[in-house]
Amino acid sequence: MIEHTIELRVRYAETDQMGIVYYSNYLVWFEIARTELFRSKGVEYSRIERERDIFLPVTEAYCRYRAPLKYDDIVRITVKVADTGNSRLTFEYDVEKDGKTASAGYTRHAFVNKNGKPVAIPADIKKLLTMG
């Protein structure tokens, strides 16, 4: 299965007055993990948008929060390609701190052109995302 792991450090800006990471920031991290998974396969997501006029808007996002994360924590985020359809793609995420899952989630995406019309996943991208 295609997967990739990134590491990041929690920013002060990502905390809230409860003293822990504000819940929407996990979705930001998911996106960073996706970007780096693409890059690890030799694909720059920024170039997909810019040069091929293909976008991957999120159609669904889910996150379960198990253990809080704090400022300056180092977290590891593993992203997997969980499912690919004709013009759809699902990623699964696992957020770890000190080897334990702090949260987990998924995002579903559509492949669309700049007018928002669904397009088939280009064959080269599909291959990279499914065969490794």
Residue numbers annotated as active site: 16
- As a whole number of Å, the end-to-end CA separation of the chain is 7
Answer yes or no whether residue 115 interacts with its own copies by CB under 8 A.
Answer: no
Whole-angstrom distance, CA of residue 84 vs CA of residue 92: 12
Residue window 8-37: x/- pattern of binding to its own copies, with contact defined by CB under 8 A: ---xxx-xxxxxx-xxxx-xx--xx--x--
* 55 near its own copies, rule: CB under 8 A: yes
Comparison of 11 and 52: residue with beta carbon closer to its own copies: 11
Distance CA 51, CA 71 (A): 37
CA–CA gap between residue 104 and residue 112 (Å, rounded): 26
Among residues 3, 40, 71, 119, which is the contact residue for its own copies, using CB under 8 A?
Answer: 71
Mapped onto helix, strand or coil, the DSSP state of residue 45 is helix
- Distance (Å, whole) CA 45 – CA 65: 27
The distance of closest approach from Cβ of residue 117 to its own copies in the complex, given in angstroms and rounded to an integer, is 13
Q: Which residues bind its own copies (CB under 8 A)?
A: 11-13, 15-20, 22-25, 27-28, 31-32, 35, 44-46, 49, 55, 57-65, 68, 70-72, 116
